[in-house]
Amino acid sequence: MTGGLQILPVTGIGDVTPGDDLAELITTAAPWLADGDVLVVTSKIVSKAEGRLVEVPADGPERDEARVRTLESETARVVARRGPTTIVQTHHGFVMAAAGIDASNVDKTHLVLLPADPDASARALRAAFAARGLDVAVIVSDTMGRAWRNGLTDVALGAAGIEALRDHRGEIDPYGNELSLTQMAVVDELSAAAELVKGKRDRVPVAVVRGYPRRTGGDGAGAAVLIRDAASDMFSLGTAEARTEGLRDAARLADTAAATASADPAAIDRALALVAAALTPGTGVTVSPGVLRLTPAGSGSADLVRLGADAHRLRAALAAEGLATTLVAGDAGVTLTFGDPA
């Protein structure tokens, strides 16, 4: 029964207003704080202390309009929308519903924004405790939704005095297997643990994790390292939004100087199968290496127009297989050269 943790709620902090000294409020409420503790502080009270509030009408359409404007100003880009839900990437890089803007636990004439720089907030708060002679780590946490799973959990927006990730890469398990892919987001796990003793209604905006072995002396790199960069984000858009982008890609497909390289014949077959039912009956298709030739179903004007539409269908299907194309329209029909994107 050694090596355990305690998760302790900090009660009695009361209302926080702009300009409040959070370290003072927290040490007064928790005189039992000790060196080595990890403080998990709800971002809401950090925002309030820092004055990250926007004044809005208490109700009516003006309130809704103010909320929309506030969301726009906190949004770097929209990830997905459905019904009343808008999931955005904030200027910090967090992907959150409504940019983390919150109307709960605040009077009706204000909205609470996320802290402008949660890692800086965590560092400042840690420094304020250090000035009181306390060596603690600080995590600024908030409640977030997840893709694929119902329910919310608390995660870390900011951190100081603790490494955000615990890295098992390079370690060897007892069977001799290397733990090659395992980096645990421990500040998120600490935030989740702290939420279990905090309350949405109960004015317990801070919890303390005691017994967690911190491995850093300084502030560390903060929670920003948990933000996945665009290049490795496989879910940068909602499915519906990305599918719409694919339609737009088809609408503006460029004639690329495609190298007429050897393309996978199976890819050509899949593209042809995809459009088979949509092509004009009688349109002819001939496949040669690097080239597709299409001939019209008849000699009338309408046949030629339909052939052009068929050719663009096929270009979109080839693009779905990763193949770039160039369309050449001639008197005898259409030639599509295809290959790797230039």
Within 61-90, which residues bind a second copy (CB under 8 A)? 80, 82, 85, 87
Q: Nearest 5 degrees, angle CA 270-CA 276-CA 280?
A: 150
Whether the CA torsion 103, 109, 111, 112 is positive or negative: it is negative
Site for a second copy in 188-247 (CB under 8 A): 188-190, 192-193, 195-197, 200-201, 203, 209, 212, 225-228, 233-247
Among 49, 157, 206, 334, binds a second copy (CB under 8 A): 334
- Kindly identify the residues of this chain, within the stretch 292-321, that bind a second copy according to CB under 8 A: 300-317, 319-320
Sign of the CA dihedral 101, 103, 108, 114? negative
Instruction: Please choose, out of 49-57, 113-121, 133-141, 171-179, the segment that lies near a second copy by the rule CB under 8 A.
Output: 171-179
Query: Residue 224, Cβ neighbours under 10 Å: how many?
Result: 16
181/158 Cα distance (integer angstroms): 24
Residues 240-279 touching a second copy, rule: CB under 8 A, are: 240-254, 271, 274-275, 277-278
Please give the structure tokens belonging to residue 12.
């009695």
Write the binding mask 15 to 44 for a second copy: x where contact by CB under 8 A, - elsewhere: ---------------x-x------------
Task: Render the burial of 83-104: b for 16+ CB within 10 Å, e for the rest.
Answer: eeebbbbbebebbbbbbbbbee
341 binds a second copy (CB under 8 A): no
* Closest distance to a second copy from the beta carbon of 146 (Å): 6
Report which residue type is found at 214.
R
> Quick check: 125 binds a second copy (CB under 8 A)?
no
Q: Based on the shown chain and the rule CB under 8 A, indicate whether residue 112 belongs to the binding site for a second copy.
A: no
Phi, psi of 272 (to 5 degrees): -65, -40
Nearer residue to a second copy within complex by CB, 9 or 339: 9
**Least separation, in Å, of the C-beta of 36 and a second copy?**
14
Amino acid symbol at 38:
V
